[in-house]
Amino acid sequence: MSDLPEVLFVCVHNAGRSQMAAALLNHHGRGRVVVRSAGSAPADSINPAVVAAMNEVGLDLAQEFPKPLTTEAVQASDVVITMGCGDACPIFPGKRYLDWQLDDPAGQGIDAVRPIRDEIDRRVRALLAELVPVAN
């Protein structure tokens, strides 16, 4: 068992938004948060425009792959953040649920993915500040 906060990002295909959010929280969290991502209907691979957009900020998603949403992943998480698939996520008492309304990068080019990435980054940094306040 870990004393670290655990966050699960969920989108439909686990090929875009949730992958970007997980990579960004892992990066900014620097081991202070356990991060997972999953999809209610996982795709076969990560969106290439998402991989390219994340490479621009120094994060490599080339080894990542879409993962299925499991009840166990939800149960293990303190915070569950859905991105367009909230109705597919099981609800458990004592969990914090957030629904981030974000454009879907599916079928979009890198120019459309960049602002989605940047908005996810803004939200991830705010979430991290709530979960792991900086010690003075």
Of 74, 89, 102, 131, which residue is the catalytic one?
Answer: 89
β-pair partners for 18: none
- E strands, the chain, in order: 6-11, 34-39, 79-83, 96-99
Q: Catalytic: 85?
A: yes
Closest CA relative to residue 50, chosen from 107, 126, 100: 107
Q: How wide is the angle at C-alpha 28 spanned by C-alphas 2 and 5, nearest 5°?
A: 20
Q: Catalytic: 69?
A: no
How long, in residues, is the chain?
136
Of 8, 69, 85, 128, which residue is the catalytic one?
Answer: 85
The answer to whether 69 and 38 have CB atoms below 8 angstroms apart is yes
> Torsion over CA of 6, 11, 70 and 5, rounded to 10 degrees?
0
Q: Catalytic: 92?
A: no
Of 7, 8, 10, 11, which residue is the catalytic one?
Answer: 11
Q: Which residues are identified as catalytic? A: 11, 85, 89
